[in-house]
Amino acid sequence: MKATYNMTLEQLVVDRADLASDKMQTIASAAEAAGFDACNLTDHPFPDATWLKNSGHNAFDPLAALCYIAGFTTTIRLHTNIVVLPYRNPFLTAKEVTTLDVLSKGRAILGIGVGYQETEYAGLGVDFKQRGKLTDEAIDAMKAAWTGEVVQFQGLNFNATNNIQYPAPLQKPHPPIWCGGNGEIAMRRAAHHCDGWTPFFLPPGPVGDRHPDAITTVDDLRVRIEKIGELREVAGRTGSFDVVPMSPVRISARTAEVADAFLANAGELAKAGVTWVGLGLPGVETSEMLDNINWFGEAVL
């Protein structure tokens, strides 16, 4: 099973933003050396201030930051987890993804989703109620642009009549698209139009009980993976397909017990059909983050 390392802005920017580029280079390089298969960044260009105060998180522009990381790495995949597709014109997103893929020599992975913050949608001038339709048309529009041929595509907010993008991505037919979300619509979107699915676990109990689509156990996830397999079969899709949840095991200490718990859970996930697992590691000081990355590489990867 492969692993993608979650880098957060809060870890990279503690007190001084001017140190973030050096810290990002140090941490991403260490993750590559430790054996991580990918590193990932999330997307919140204009989040709700109240949400931020209540344990929300800021973010760099993920595609721009991953292009920076591409310049000093050679093997680690560069993964958006996730880009909220409706926030941007899909042809601009396609160009950014192509730029990342070309400059990284074919290492881009495009994780996408519909988002959930109405305030962020409003601030960016996008209709929250249209987010599903905007996401679906964006996937189709990007795929059309990535062919390198003339595009004719009428969208809700754009009209391509005789447009073309060059160069095309290095990965063919395009970088893998992983769709996030636990709900039936997200699962169907992943099965029919994407190359992977990024579900997320919620803790059992009051939090999970509030969400009808919650995945709280490996058995829950196994049932959903089987359903996606059925949807793909009906749609005639037979290519490879990745399932990429964040690990439900919290890395709280550098101990053999924690490593064993992670590996045991990873084994259960693999039996359920998971191909990648995502994880974050604690720490905000560079030295602590490096110690955790190096320990995880030696104990787990």
Domain ranges of the chain: 2-299
pLDDT of 45: 97
Predicted pLDDT at 212 = 83
Structural fold of domain 2-299: TIM Barrel (3.20.20)
Task: Give the per-residue pLDDT at 204.
Answer: 79
**So what's the pLDDT on residue 16?**
83
Integer CA distances (angstroms), 217 to 56, 181, 268, in order: 24, 16, 10
The torsion angles phi and psi of 7, rounded to 5 degrees, stand at -105, 125
Strands 108-113 and 177-180, bridge-based pairing: parallel
Confirm if 7 and 58 have CB atoms less than 8 A apart. Answer: no
pLDDT score of 207: 63
Residues 6+ apart with CB under 8 A from 90: 137, 138, 139, 141, 142, 145, 155, 158
Beta-carbon count within 10 A of 110 CB: 31
Q: Quick one: pLDDT at residue 208?
A: 62
Give the pLDDT of the chain (301 residues) as one tens digit per residue. 999 999 998 888 867 899 999 999 999 999 999 999 999 999 999 999 999 999 898 999 999 999 999 999 999 999 999 999 999 999 999 999 999 999 999 999 999 999 999 999 999 999 999 999 999 999 999 999 999 999 999 999 999 999 999 999 999 999 999 999 999 999 999 999 999 999 999 987 766 667 889 999 999 999 999 999 999 999 999 999 999 999 999 999 999 999 999 999 999 999 999 999 999 999 999 999 999 999 999 999 9
> Contact at 8 Å (CB) between 188 and 182?
no
This prediction's pTM: 0.96
Q: What is the pLDDT of residue 9?
A: 83
Query: What pLDDT is recorded for position 14?
Result: 67
